[in-house]
């Protein structure tokens, strides 16, 4: 009879349970600290949401105890769904950051002075004014050579961002 019980439930070590609890506390800390997380969209009970709201007003030791309390409330909840919900709330910000970095890379490639990046950019953004783009690139390259402040480089980036926004 003891063997039947042991075979049904996987044995989880004490260390593993501690790691899982710490991961859950870290998730709760992130939720409490993040103002972007919309509590009503979290797949948790109302009492957990109330506890998170209370935690946002606490400091130091009271906050630490409240985080432990919230983690204990979430022990039997679906933490994978909770993590996905939190990640989905941060997704638009992450996408904006990725788009920003992609435009920075385009600007850097255009400033190399080679013809291929310019042609490739115009192919991706047919509404681009080729002459204006070349002028911005020339001015930015000249500033770079003369070690002046990157005024034209910023103008180029602003133009690229405007093109990217208009093509969406």
Cα separation of 117 and 122, whole Å? 9
Q: Give the helix, strand, coil percentages of the chain, each rounded to 5.
A: 75, 0, 25
Q: pLDDT digits over 106-154, tens only?
A: 788 888 777 788 787 878 777 888 888 888 888 888 888 888 887 888 8
Q: The domain that contains 161 carries what CATH number?
A: 1.10.60.30
- Residue 72 shares a structural domain with residue 6: yes
Range of the domain at 17: 2-77
* The predicted structure's pLDDT at residue 44: 74
Please give the Cα distance from 51 to 36 (Å, whole number): 17
Q: Using the 3D structure, point to which of 51, 77, 103 is the last residue of a domain.
A: 77
The two structure tokens encoding residue 135? 């002028």
For the cut 60, the answer to whether the pLDDT of residue 6 exceeds it is no
pLDDT for 12-58, tens place per residue? Answer: 888 888 888 887 888 888 787 776 566 666 777 778 878 887 888 88
In the numeric block, the tokens 């783009």 are attached to 133
């Amino acid at each position: 009879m003891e063997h039947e019980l042991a075979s049904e439930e996987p044995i989880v070590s004490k260390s593993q349970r501690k790691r899982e609890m710490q991961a859950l506390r870290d998730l709760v800390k992130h939720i409490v600290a993040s103002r972007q997380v919309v509590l009503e969209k979290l797949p948790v009970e109302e009492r957990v949401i109330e506890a998170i709201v209370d935690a946002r007003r606490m400091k130091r030791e009271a906050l630490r105890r409240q985080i432990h309390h919230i983690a204990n409330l979430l022990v039997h909840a679906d933490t994978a769904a909770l993590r996905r919900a939190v990640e989905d709330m941060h997704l638009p910000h992450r996408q904006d950051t990725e788009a920003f970095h992609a435009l920075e890379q385009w600007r850097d490639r255009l400033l190399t002075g080679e013809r291929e990046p310019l042609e490739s950019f115009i192919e991706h953004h047919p509404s681009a004014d080729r002459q204006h783009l070349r002028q911005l690139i020339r001015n930015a390259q000249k500033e770079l050579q003369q070690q002046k402040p990157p005024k034209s480089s910023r103008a180029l980036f602003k133009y690229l961002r405007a093109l990217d926004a208009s093509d969406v």
